[in-house]
Chain A
Amino acid sequence: MKTTLLLTCVILPFAATAAEQTFDFKDPKGVNTARFTLDAPLETISGNANGVSGTLTIDPAKPEATKGSIVIDAKTLNVENAMMKEHMLGAEWLDVAKNPTITFTVMSLEDFNMSGQAAPAPGAPKGSSMDSVTATANVKGKFSLKGVEKEIAVPATVTLLKGKLGARTGGKMQGDLMVIRTEFTIKRADYGINPKAPTDKVSDDIVINLAIAGASPK
């Protein structure tokens, strides 16, 4: 009886966390991308950043308890004009020397909805698990940009690609992939990004489009 109790004490915590999966969003392929667009009447400015990192821990049984953060290296922000890039990273605009990262820290997931499940791949053995699961959710979190942190909620689509890490790494690693897609808008003035700049030339609305893949090796 004592042994059973001891075993239960040791095994239960592991059983409880066994369903949890942590996904690392540092992508060696450089595919993970955050795009931004400022569409002003006189000028449209767009660019991207590929210095994405961070981790998310998700329990499919309790998706609302998802925790983690996505970090973007502000120095990897890029536009098509070298002088514009220099200005964008400078003190007046993003001041990346003082604020080297842009962070979204997940606080909770709401309205989690399993919107679709793909069938197993052709030729997959009978009874094999689904190849991919897609869900939508409203993600509440803290968005930090240029030293200003604000609570925001963003709509996201999350796709779990089971066993696809091997295909992506040429068989070097096995595991699952998680793809997150989201698009949301923030106000430039809210984050103190050169609020004096005229909005007919540089829009106050910054549309951020994130498409990132995280790996969970097994």
Chain B
Amino acid sequence: MRTTLRLFALLLLLGTAGWWVAAGKNPGWTKNKVAIEKKDEITEIVFIEYEDRFVPGVDILAAAVAGAVVLAGLSFLGRRKVAAS
């Protein structure tokens, strides 16, 4: 049980960190829209269009760290069985 909890904690931490890195290491809050810059050819005005895309931010990373700490902490709560001598 202890090993399972610790394994889950490690998987949660590494999985979320990997996802955050793969999604572009967004240093801000989680985004559900991404600004795309475009340029109008005639006026040369650079304008923004939003694309629906989920980009995890540091808030999700922090939640994963907290979750992993809780899981790892739980693994220390149970009483260790002492082998009969």
Q: Total interface residues on A, using CB and 8 Å?
A: 24
Residue A50 is within 8 A (CB to CB) of chain B in the complex: yes
Contact digits for B47-85, partner A, Cβ 8 Å, 1 yes 0 no: 110100001000000000000000000000000000000
Least Cβ–Cβ distance between B67 and chain A, in angstroms: 20
Residue in A closest to B57 when the chains form the complex, CB atoms: A81
A179-B45 contact in complex given A78-B50, A213-B40, C-beta closer than 8 Å: yes
CB of A130 within 8 Å of the partner chain: no
Does residue A31 face the partner (Cβ distance < 8 Å to B)?
Answer: yes
Interface segment, one of B4-12, B17-25, B30-38: B30-38
Q: Which of chain A's residues have a CB closer than 8 A to the CB of B34?
A: 80
Q: A43-B28, A80-B35 are in contact. Are A211 and B48 (CB under 8 A)?
A: no
A168 to B45, CA, bound (A): 12
A162-175 vs B, Cβ < 8 Å mask (1 yes, 0 no) = 00100110000000
A interface, by DSSP: helix, strand, loop or mixed? mixed
Closest to A85 in B: B33
- Which of B33, B42, B47, B50 interacts with A211 by CB under 8 Å? B47
Decide yes or no whether B43 CB sits under 8 A from chain A.
yes
CA distance A50 to B40 in the complex (A): 14
In contact, A31 and B28 (Cβ under 8 angstroms): no
How many interface residues does chain B have, given as a range? 10 to 19
The answer to whether B1 has its CB under 8 Å from any CB of chain A is no
| A165 nearest in chain B by CB position | B42
CB pair B43–A179 under 8 Å, yes or no, is yes
B32 x A33 contact (CB < 8 A): no
Would A31 and B45 count as touching, CB distance under 8 A? yes
Question: Which among A43, A82, A213 is the interface contact of B43 at CB below 8 angstroms?
Answer: A213
What 0/1 pattern do residues 74 to 87 of A give for CB contact below 8 A with B?
A: 00001011101000
The 22 listed contacts between A and B (C-beta, < 8 Å) are: A30-B47, A31-B40, A33-B47, A48-B48, A50-B47, A50-B48, A78-B48, A80-B31, A80-B35, A80-B55, A81-B29, A81-B31, A81-B32, A84-B29, A164-B42, A164-B43, A167-B42, A179-B43, A211-B47, A212-B45, A213-B40, A213-B43
Give the A-binding residues of B (Cβ under 8 A).
28-35, 40, 42-48, 50, 55
Listed in ascending order, the chain A residues whose CB lies under 8 Å from chain B are 29-33, 35, 43-44, 48, 50, 78, 80-82, 84, 161, 164, 167-168, 177, 179, 211-213
